[in-house]
Chain A
């Protein structure tokens, strides 16, 4: 069966039938010991699962079928996501799947598509993102990592940070400064760089979850071919903004909130909290915050499916989603009583629930991908058009 045939078949299925098929396949193929992982998993844990998904053709549910994706419509995509989160399927190193792939499909040259997309699908290229720098967080356009032209190469020097799972990746997509004069946004270039290039050093950073999930990446006279540029020299900001659109729709997806909610539910069942009407009211409020986000998310995904572009308004999903997720973990903490202060979790019928761990892990969601304060600034200016 070709991808296109499979895609048509999935989209033609009844919702319940599709849900059951996905669930059954997870039950059969997803390793039990990896259900509801407490942290982002490293490649040595989750690599086999990445390749299993790739073999099944389910690695890239949102990519169009002609590029090897599942080509799911908005509704099926949400079901796919929901089943995975509810079953506790862990996240793969997915920067290539959610960021680089969609970007190249939309903006890449034919050669770039042909070179990079199959390597993502095969698990040959695992990507990480080099955007932030120690001095350039919310004000990303002030970035200083420089690329100086030397014949048909750039010489790259500088320091990137908050690079998620850089230690597992072999490719980095990054923003570098190619022009120091004029508007800061207009001197930025988008580069694709193999991490084994001489002069690159990766140093893991331990986060509050006591997990080395992200890293710093140092560049010391790194030679990068000029052919590695996407979108032309000094056009990197435009490309980055297009990618941020993908990131924000991804961060706006309800999957993380659903995951947190399913953990809260398991805990509430085990502890008998559904007998408490006060808990039920608060639980229902959160459940509806997520259901309503689903409705909004579908509305945005429909735009993409129609081939339209999503603008700055997508920031609303990120704000709503991440703050809902945090409220879920706050209720979890409260319901956990003393367990809210210990590293280990509570045993439930549905695996271990780590209230403290979830509470900690939801902290950065309102910081990464553009802090929620920045998202609100964007909405105020670009959507409500409030004065400066």
Chain B
């Protein structure tokens, strides 16, 4: 499908970015009809294990992991080209949750033995951690309160753990007497029970209930845990925004293509000004989003304070969440009746946007955080 973004008109990519983008375009090209995305919907673990393995073989799982731990240690500058394609191809894999957020937590932790032991396995696709940090709906607080750790045993409940069904271990934030700490907990640990919530996109969130569960290795101590969590989640918000950008861009491409083909009143419906102006507005939204994504990844690859990162992450997540919902829901309207059927692929984009827009703080929540930090 033709790329209608302004990338080729106004942006300049490095040679390396072009190579990485090309391989990502080829990767999603293999499932252009979205058969894998469809097949993994509504069945555990909610994503495609083979796809995960293929991503490992391409080296993508080690994007943000330093070379000493088996990764390739690149920045957002290169990674975002992959994230956009993952969104365009609706690739059924918990890339942001695991290879971005969980990986970033581990890399920044203060247990060197855990890094040496686990990170190479993550990069190889042999081991999948999932981060269990959230304790309340709509919360962005990284201070653990509900889940506590006493004498090495965890109690309490974590919610909205993405793709928990495919994880081998969880990284759990817990309140000790001193403050928040991060621990690894095995998925099969005694006393841990998992309830699953079906997401609209076909994946699952896990709710983890801990009843005197023995902790595994410590990932981060009190001195670091909250700041590591905050940084990893903001990194994840930027990554999810890049994926949303891919989702909205492809949804618009599909819609432009459809309205160019679809004939009514003896003309392609895309020739009608009412529809053209609507699609132009969606296009503007997508390019405003792209501009903010590009600005934010530059900021995250450079030196910036924790507060600066939070402000920027909220700015980009607010924009991309809003724009992706606006574009995909309008795409349904522009398709007409066929857009409301499960067999048309446009609906898959709509539902992916619904998931990603609401995960890690929706647009309203991020505008509120932005206001709190800047007003």
Contact = CB atoms under 8 A, between A and B. Distances in A.
A299 B296 CA distance: 12
B276 A383 contact: no
Interface stretch (A34-42, A131-139, A309-317, A360-368): A309-317
Given A281-B367, A296-B288, A320-B288, A387 B268 contact: yes
B270 interface: yes
A298 B268 CA distance: 36
B288 A386 contact: no
Given A377-B276, A384-B4, A319 B292 contact: no
Interface string B222-246: 0000000000000000000000000
Nearest to A378: B280
Interface stretch (A48-56, A170-178, A286-294, A336-344): A286-294
Contact of A296 (B9, B267, B271, B291): B291
A300 interface: yes
Contacts of B268: 387
Contacts of B4: 383-385
Task: Give the size range of A's interface with the partner.
Answer: 35 or more
Contact of A379 (B267, B280, B294, B315): B280
B315 A316 contact: no
Contacts of B319: 288, 292
B48 interface: no
Contacts of B289: 292
Interface in A64-97: none
Nearest to A319: B284
Contacts of A373: 277
Interface in B306-337: 315, 318-319
A352 to B, nearest CB: 23
B271 A387 contact: yes
A309 to B, nearest CB: 10
B375 A274 contact: yes
Contacts of B12: 306
Interface string A353-378: 00000000000000000000100110
A306 B12 CA distance: 10
B276 A284 contact: no
Interface in A297-337: 298-300, 302-303, 306, 308, 310-311, 313, 316, 319-320
Most A Cβ at <10 Å: residue of B11, B364, B367: B367
Tell me the dominant secondary structure on chain B's binding face: helix
B39 interface: no
Contacts of A292: 288-289, 291-292, 315, 319
B9 A311 contact: yes
A110 interface: no
Interface in B269-296: 270-271, 273, 276-277, 279-281, 283-284, 287-289, 291-292, 294-295
B371 interface: yes
B10 A308 contact: yes
A2 interface: no
A314 to B, nearest CB: 9
A5 interface: no
Interface string B256-267: 100110000001
Nearest to A291: B315
A295 B295 contact: yes
A386 B259 contact: yes
B367 to A, nearest CB: 5
Given A295-B294, A303-B10, A373-B277, A288 B367 contact: yes
Contacts of B318: 288
6 contacts: A288-B370, A291-B315, A293-B288, A306-B12, A319-B280, A380-B273
Given A313-B287, A386-B276, 12 more contacts: A288-B315, A295-B292, A296-B292, A298-B295, A308-B10, A316-B287, A320-B284, A376-B277, A376-B281, A380-B276, A384-B4, A384-B280
Interface of B: 4, 6, 9-12, 256, 259-260, 267-268, 270-271, 273, 276-277, 279-281, 283-284, 287-289, 291-292, 294-295, 315, 318-319, 364, 367-368, 370-371, 374-375
Interface of A: 274, 280-281, 283-285, 287-288, 291-293, 295-296, 298-300, 302-303, 306, 308, 310-311, 313, 316, 319-320, 373, 376-377, 379-380, 383-388
